[in-house]
Amino acid sequence: MADALVVEELSKSFGALRAVDGVGFAVKDGDVHSLIGPNGAGKTTVFNCISGFLRPAEGRVLLRGEDVTAWPPHRLIPAGLARTFQITKVFGDLTVLENVALAARSRLGQNLRMWRRASKVTSANVEALEILEMLGLAENASANADHLAHGDKRILEIAIALALRPRLLMLDEPTAGMSAGETEHIGKLVRRIAARTSVLLVEHDMEMVLGISDQVTVMTQGRVIASGTPDAISRDTNVQDAYLGALDARNL
């Protein structure tokens, strides 16, 4: 079986700045794979090259063995890739259930009729409710998305992405701005999600990363400096020097 994602020698420049320089890693089927590094390491640029928001200058992106390099986002979604963003993107005027159901209806090709029938009980609504129950948001299904707490809005964005039935879910800093308790909750949800789809995660909370990841890839200055299990990464002296050295020893 092909890996969920393979990135080969990916490079991207912005003028004279080499933001990503020969990056390569593979996400195994069913794994939580974290991409970490200090600010400016190139993680977001890699994310954007994989998900079609930027065109890489060099390298390849393989999704389940299919070359999807430089495919636009609208083509990658039906191919099995979905992502979230650092800034939460939900439809605030719609209910929580409608947000997720719209994503499901879009996947089913019903987007031209979705506004008129969004409140009706359809297969998309049933699927949306199932996802909300899995993520612990079902009790807020009828609430307007704008009324959710910050942490619940982040979870709703994940629910919307899952309604697209991705083979690979890319999460860009899902715990940004969250409390320790909320971060722990998101970590547990990510592990639960991995039972349905592979996960590629960019995250700054190292305690969470080392606690939930199957594999970790470390970047600095646009390059990969280490890749391996959380235990191997936490003991790598190059990683400690580049990124983890300032952390409390109990997080290593």
Predicted confidence (pLDDT) per residue in 187-236, tens digit? 999 999 999 999 999 998 889 999 999 999 999 999 999 999 999 999 99
The percent of residues in the chain predicted with pLDDT above 70, rounded, is 90
More confident residue, 110 or 59: 59
Break the chain into its structural domains and give their ranges: 1-80+166-252, 93-163
Give the tokens for residue 180. Answer: 């320790």
Tell me the CA end-to-end span of the chain in Å, nearest whole number.
33
Q: Which residue has the tokens 């899952």?
A: 162
Mean pLDDT within 138-163: 94
CA angle (135, 138, 140) in 5-degree steps: 115
Residue type at 248 in one-letter notation:
D
The pTM (predicted TM-score) of the whole model is 0.88
CATH 3.40.50.300 applies to domain 1-80+166-252: yes
pLDDT at 243: 64
Predicted confidence (pLDDT) per residue in 95-142, tens digit? 999 999 999 888 766 554 545 554 444 788 899 999 999 999 999 999
Q: Please give the mean pLDDT across all residues of the chain.
A: 89
pLDDT at 109: 63
Give the integer Cα–Cα distance in Å for 156 and 138.
10
